[in-house]
Structure 1
Amino acid sequence: MTSITEDLRFVGIDDEGYAQAVATAKSFTYGDDESGFAFTGKATLMFQREAQEWEHGAFSSTVLITFIDPIQGAPDAQEPQDEDFLRAVSDRVSFLHIPSQCQQMQVDDVWGIDCEFLMFAMPHPQDENATAWLLIPGPDHRVVSSRHTVQDYQLAELKRAAAELGLDGSQEPTLQ
């Protein structure tokens, strides 16, 4: 079993098949038949394990898309991608496959994983006649970019709030 099929149990794509799918998506040109079309790009996936079991329901995840490879020949292909556009696409991702690295996570860990991705539309499994976007992190260029615990985040938030209120010793406290 390859690293990608560990991630994609129901999609069942191996490393070579993934590379072919990415190449096909990148060669798509604007106006071609849209069936089977997929986006490629780069993203950071934020994961938190919420239970010990290795299953999709034991994780919470957030997608932060950082770049989308433009479609060749599209009218806006040369325009710079702004944050609102990337955030809007990130928000459309309904289903996400969990990288195999996450098996090592502990409960309360929060990881950021940088990856290339392949994302395509599929019929929504729960909502009839609706579309879901499935994001698949690729086997190449995949790296755990940050590891924190929930407590790390909470402590950082407390320190930030203390600084804003002047309770960190940097200035006299001010009452609002």
Structure 2
Amino acid sequence: MRKGEIVRKTGETDICVSMDIDGRGNSTIDTGIGFFDHMLTLFSKHGLFDISVKAKGDLYVDTHHTIEDIGITIGQAFLKALGDKKSIKRYGVSTVPMDETLARVAVDISGRPYLYYDVELNMPLLGGFETETVEEFFRAFAFNGGITLHVELLHGKNTHHIIEAVFKAFGRALDDATRIDDRTCGVPSTKGLL
């Protein structure tokens, strides 16, 4: 059972996250940020992860602290759920279209956190969601989940479509990377450690 649960309380946020890597795409998301709830629901559905997120943050300031801290906690829950990483595929790549948009995400569950992010967004706000926090979410997830993550916009204009395609591609790439390959004994690394 590859499951992880993390609780994080700071002066800015109070977050409880649970993640089941081997789920069916079920989610219960309540961040107080409608658009972000939608994106996390898409990530869960397309990655086939069962995820619960309950978050309260200082949204009277802005959405930055809440979104970044959710990235931290989901990343930590993911890392905990992975356990010893034995027999995982390790790598995953997904290219997802959404109307005029095409986004690509590549993942390496390497134990070496890194984020390459090349996504230009035209609108700074969608509802109450500050779009520049998309990069902050992925950075927090990558560095707390111990993954190398590349997020690229190949083309697109509509900000909603771009962000949605990115979150769907992230779910699908991470699902691929976490799958068990029965041909792999131990961790998929010549070092013997991920």
| Larger relative contact order (CA 8 Å, sep ≥ 6) | 2
Name the TM-score, length of structure 1 as normaliser: 0.27
Which structure would you say has the larger Rg? 1
Name the TM-score, length of structure 2 as normaliser: 0.25
Higher helix proportion: 2
